[in-house]
Amino acid sequence: MLKNFTIVRFHAKLYTVKVHYHSYDAVIVGAGGAGLRAAIEVAGKVRTAVITKLYPTRSHTGAAQGGMCAALANVEEDYWEWHAFDTVKGGDYLGDQPAIDIMCREAIDAVIDLEHFGMPFSRTPEGRIDQRRFGGHTRNHGEAPVRRSCYAADRTGHMILQTLYQQCVAHEVNFFNEFQVFDVLFDESGGQKRAAGVVAYELATGDLHVFVSKGVLFATGGYGKIFRISSNAHTLTGDGLGVLYRRGIPMQDLEFYQFHPTGIYGFGILLSEAARGEGGILRNGLGERFMERVAPTVKDLAPRDMVSRAIHAEIREGRGAGTDKDFVYLDLTHLPPEQIDAKLPDITDFARTYLGIEPKTQPIPIQPTAHYAMGGIPTNVEGEVVLDGKGTVVPGLYAAGECACVSVHGANRLGTNSLLDIVVFGRRGGRAMAEYVKGVDHPEVPRGAEAEVRDRIERFKAASGGEKVPAIRTELQQTMTENASVVRTAESLRAAHAKIDELVERYHSIAIDDKGEVFNYDLVEAVELSHLLDLAKGLVVGAEARQESRGAHWRDDFPTRDDVNWMKHSLAHRGDDGDVRLEYKPVIGGRYEPMERKY
């Protein structure tokens, strides 16, 4: 014991962090689709830094497969209003309609923009951008599936990410690669709280960097790693949300988390809806096409929340496949092999690589996988972060992409609408920030703004408790997948809540192995886990309170939508002790009145 103690002190003393100071007009945190799109808008206009914990091309936007919807009408009749209707309905009437209108209208522009940037879209025989079907996207308000999704084989996100990064290279955007933001700074000297910068940790050296900046835009992506079975990258730990949440910014609609129906069994790796767009069929263990029963019109192309619940029901009622009867099949065996090779090359390779299955002759075992956060940092349509139902903004603070909640996806995002969201609102947020910073002075940031981050790092390195980060994270993911996923009840949520409280308690006595400064991912994972715990708790508390079923939030004990009491957005505030206080704000309506959601 004594020996151990001495070693710890020794390390603590040895640790003297170097701090660097930078001054910028605009800082963008994150270099996925949203961050890069914003960067293109800002770079060259004002002094900009893009800070990213991953090399830009490693961002999870690159994993997106299926496509990006826009009513180009290149292959059949379509109007952006139809797209807007589908988005409102798909979101189960929790989306804000003015924002949805903007997204669907600007979608067309955004696709053309990407094409001009060099995006290699798949083409029609006439050389125009090709379009295909996708879940929940219909012609004329639900009549039949429509070909609206623009795509590049089944690696649309990869192509978007590469294209945007290429443009950033062309624009000589200033990147700080492998710098991880640990804190946000505000300036309250003028009486009003405004953004003042961020504190970042340089992975290669362990040095801290204080970026003082007039504008800060968060584009840090999702937090799918709160779940065990997940399509999300290991690095999707909700850092942007977590950092702001700790600093008093509320989080909107956390209880709405999407489960994609077709994750590779056991892995959670995504098989895009494009597989069903191309004609793929879901079958249960008996070989039945069960979606015919659930959604007679659009069948397998019903929105994700419905399909995931249908799969859950098949499994629960004993009609699953396999020894444990805990998966169903995605069947592509009836599709022409050439079509599979041309349109779905990557995802069929995933099935071969991870399951040893040949999708041309064998159906693929799948199960729902945690996929997308509808909720996040509340913003308006200019990407400005808003604090309440009155639209009070924090000047200089912006968010875009999956970390943000505009809200265009409501209670359930339609496939292809996120790639759209990141480019439309990345651009808007970038533009608004570039405008804003021209009109304001540099913020006041006192020396030692990094003190709290430094203390935190020192505490982690000095700690000698018996708890380990991976163990706590695994238990968190386990309870979230079991108790707070596709189907929830008061009881399951209570269990998750109690478990999270226990884990938060245990988190106080974690110790890390790596006390070093160079590429200390051990430390980084400890910080990331704090965000996962915070967000999981916010999600569960929001879900416990919401006594209705809407979109991706399904309560077996309250199986209907309740527009009288619950057509409102939640705002979770974090107390100093990590406790959650809920508040609500109204949904902004528009042309479409809520009606029952049938497909």
Ligand X SMILES: Cc1cc2nc3c(=O)[nH]c(=O)nc-3n(C[C@H](O)[C@H](O)[C@H](O)COP(=O)(O)OP(=O)(O)OC[C@H]3O[C@@H](n4cnc5c(N)ncnc54)[C@H](O)[C@@H]3O)c2cc1C
CB 277 within 8 A of CB 234: no
Structure tokens at 231: 């399509």
Structure tokens at 29: 């945190």
Q: Is 33 in the site for ligand X (CB under 6 A)?
A: yes
Which of another protein, ligand X, none interacts with 30 (beta carbon under 5 to 8 A by kind)? ligand X
Interaction residues for ligand X, span 416-455 (CB under 6 A): 416-420, 422
Using the rule CB under 6 A, give the single segment among 58-66, 100-108, 117-125, 249-257 that binds ligand X: 58-66
Q: Which is nearer to ligand X, 411 or 567 (CB)?
A: 411
CB 263 within 8 A of CB 271: yes
SS (H, E, C) 210-256: EEEEEEEEECCCCCHHHCCCECCCCCCCCHHHHHHHHCCCCEECCCC
Tell me the CA distances in angstroms from 103 to 504, 554, 567, one per residue in order: 38, 26, 21
As a whole number of angstroms, the distance between CA 452 and CA 456 comes to 6
Q: Is 366 in the site for ligand X (CB under 6 A)?
A: no
Per the rule left: phi > 0, alpha: psi between -120 and 50, beta: everything else, 193 is beta
> Minimum Å distance from CB 240 to ligand X?
6
Which of ligand X, another protein, none interacts with 478 (beta carbon under 5 to 8 A by kind)? none
> Minimum Å distance from CB 542 to another protein?
28
Which of ligand X, another protein, none interacts with 245 (beta carbon under 5 to 8 A by kind)? none
> Minimum Å distance from CB 220 to ligand X?
4
Which of another protein, ligand X, none interacts with 574 (beta carbon under 5 to 8 A by kind)? none
3-state secondary structure of 27: strand
Active site residues per annotation: 304
3-state secondary structure of 26: strand
> Minimum Å distance from CB 349 to another protein?
8
> Minimum Å distance from CB 229 to ligand X?
13
> Minimum Å distance from CB 272 to ligand X?
6
Tell me the CA distances in angstroms from 559 to 257, 374, 419, 488, one per residue in order: 17, 20, 31, 10
Contacts of 451 (CB under 8 A, 6+ apart): none
Interaction residues for ligand X, span 532-561 (CB under 6 A): none
Q: Which is nearer to ligand X, 328 or 420 (CB)?
A: 420
Using the rule CB under 6 A, give the single segment among 9-17, 312-320, 348-356, 401-409 that binds ligand X: 401-409
Q: List alpha helices for 273-416, DSSP H.
A: 274-277, 291-294, 304-316, 337-343, 345-355
Q: Among positive and negative, which fits the CA dihedral 373, 374, 376, 381? A: positive
Using the rule CB under 6 A, give the single segment among 28-36, 117-125, 324-332, 340-348 that binds ligand X: 28-36
Interaction residues for ligand X, span 61-100 (CB under 6 A): 61, 63-68
Using the rule CB under 6 A, give the single segment among 56-64, 277-285, 357-365, 456-464 that binds ligand X: 56-64
Q: Which is nearer to ligand X, 56 or 363 (CB)?
A: 56
Which of ligand X, another protein, none interacts with 397 (beta carbon under 5 to 8 A by kind)? none
Using the rule CB under 6 A, give the single segment among 32-40, 314-322, 342-350, 389-397 that binds ligand X: 32-40
Among 416, 414, 405, smallest CA distance to 587 is for 405
Q: Directed axis angle between helix 490-507 and helix 469-483, to 10°?
A: 170
Amino acid type, 79: Y
* Run of H or E including 282: strand 281-283
Task: Choose which of 197, 221, 375, 378 interacts with ligand X (CB under 6 A).
Answer: 221
CB 232 within 8 A of CB 243: no
Instruction: Give Dmax (Cα) for the chain.
Output: 77
Number of residues that make up the chain: 599
> Minimum Å distance from CB 28 to ligand X?
9
CB-count exposure of residue 390 (10 Å: 0-12, 13-18, 19+): exposed
> Minimum Å distance from CB 117 to another protein?
7
As a whole number of angstroms, the distance between CA 416 and CA 560 comes to 27
CB 156 within 8 A of CB 419: yes
> Minimum Å distance from CB 400 to ligand X?
7
Which of another protein, ligand X, none interacts with 333 (beta carbon under 5 to 8 A by kind)? another protein
Q: Which is nearer to another protein, 333 or 489 (CB)?
A: 333
Contacts of 550 (CB under 8 A, 6+ apart): 92, 93, 94, 256, 411, 561, 566
Interaction residues for ligand X, span 224-283 (CB under 6 A): 231-232, 236, 239-240, 270, 272
CB 274 within 8 A of CB 65: yes
Q: Which is nearer to another protein, 118 or 586 (CB)?
A: 118
> Minimum Å distance from CB 526 to ligand X?
13
Q: Which is nearer to ligand X, 95 or 221 (CB)?
A: 221
Which of ligand X, another protein, none interacts with 513 (beta carbon under 5 to 8 A by kind)? another protein
CB 107 within 8 A of CB 71: yes
Which of ligand X, another protein, none interacts with 272 (beta carbon under 5 to 8 A by kind)? ligand X
Phi, psi of 251 (to 5 degrees): -110, 135
Using the rule CB under 6 A, give the single segment among 23-31, 85-93, 308-316, 482-490 that binds ligand X: 23-31
Which of another protein, ligand X, none interacts with 547 (beta carbon under 5 to 8 A by kind)? none
> Minimum Å distance from CB 588 to another protein?
30
SS (H, E, C) 166-185: HHHHHCCCCEEECEEEEEEE
Residue 449-488 contact track with ligand X, rule CB under 6 A, x = bound: ----------------------------------------
Interaction residues for ligand X, span 163-182 (CB under 6 A): 180-181
Q: What is the DSSP letter of 125?
A: T
Q: Among positive and negative, which fits the CA dihedral 585, 589, 595, 599? A: negative
Which of another protein, ligand X, none interacts with 239 (beta carbon under 5 to 8 A by kind)? ligand X
How many residues line the site for ligand X (CB under 6 A)? 47
Q: What is the DSSP letter of 510?
A: B
3-state secondary structure of 195: strand
Q: Is 401 in the site for ligand X (CB under 6 A)?
A: yes
Q: Which is nearer to another protein, 115 or 458 (CB)?
A: 115
Which of ligand X, another protein, none interacts with 265 (beta carbon under 5 to 8 A by kind)? another protein
Q: Is the peptide bond before 407 cis (omega within 30 degrees of 0)?
A: yes
Binding interface with ligand X (CB under 6 A): 29-35, 51-54, 56, 59-61, 63-68, 156-157, 180-181, 219-222, 231-232, 236, 239-240, 270, 272, 372, 401-403, 415-420, 422
